[in-house]
Amino acid sequence: MEKQMTAVEARAALDSVARDRQRVIDEIGLPRWYWWGVALGWVGLGYLTDLKNAWVSSVATLAFGAVHSAVAPRVVGGRRRTHNLSVRRELAGPRTPALIFGGLIALAVVTVAGGVLASADGARHPVTIASVFVAVLIVLGGPHLLAAVRRRAARRVVPS
């Protein structure tokens, strides 16, 4: 006959499950190298745009887009922040890739607006200036976006 669990033992078991669930939720995110790669690529594209060579800028943009489209499907779901664990898509949230891409589109608009404003102010390298500003937003803001995804996952109950 099995021994009945005491209230203290039950609470300890539930606390252990909650801690383990939080550890899994903490794994939701994108690798740090993704944010830095996008930010550095963004600055590079801004610099090349300021050179005013349409061919160089076009080829660099296509190359950046090709590399990003090869890498993004593997990481933007937020399921593999580290190699330690891969979380379920349902836990990471099915809209995480849309949030990432929507943020990148918004940052492209910010880059264009910043470049136009810097150019109107007489800056010599307006797109580079705007790109550096956006790169800082990417490196600092990207992890905050995924922190919001983690907070949402912590509130959500995912069926087994």
pLDDT in tens, 2-29: 778 788 877 887 888 778 777 767 777 7
For residue 102, give the nearest of 149, 41, 157, 44 by alpha carbon.
Answer: 149
CA distances from 119 to 73, 105, 122 (A): 35, 21, 5
For the chain, give the number of residues. 160
| Residue 131 in tokens | 């790109």
Q: What is the pLDDT of residues 61-110, one digit of tens each?
A: 999 999 999 988 877 766 665 666 666 666 666 777 788 888 889 999 99
Residue among 123, 26, 37 nearest 72 (CA): 37
Query: Are the C-beta atoms of 137 and 110 separated by less than 8 Å?
Result: yes
Q: Is 0.75 topped by the overall pTM?
A: yes
Positive/negative CA dihedral, 59, 72, 102, 39: negative
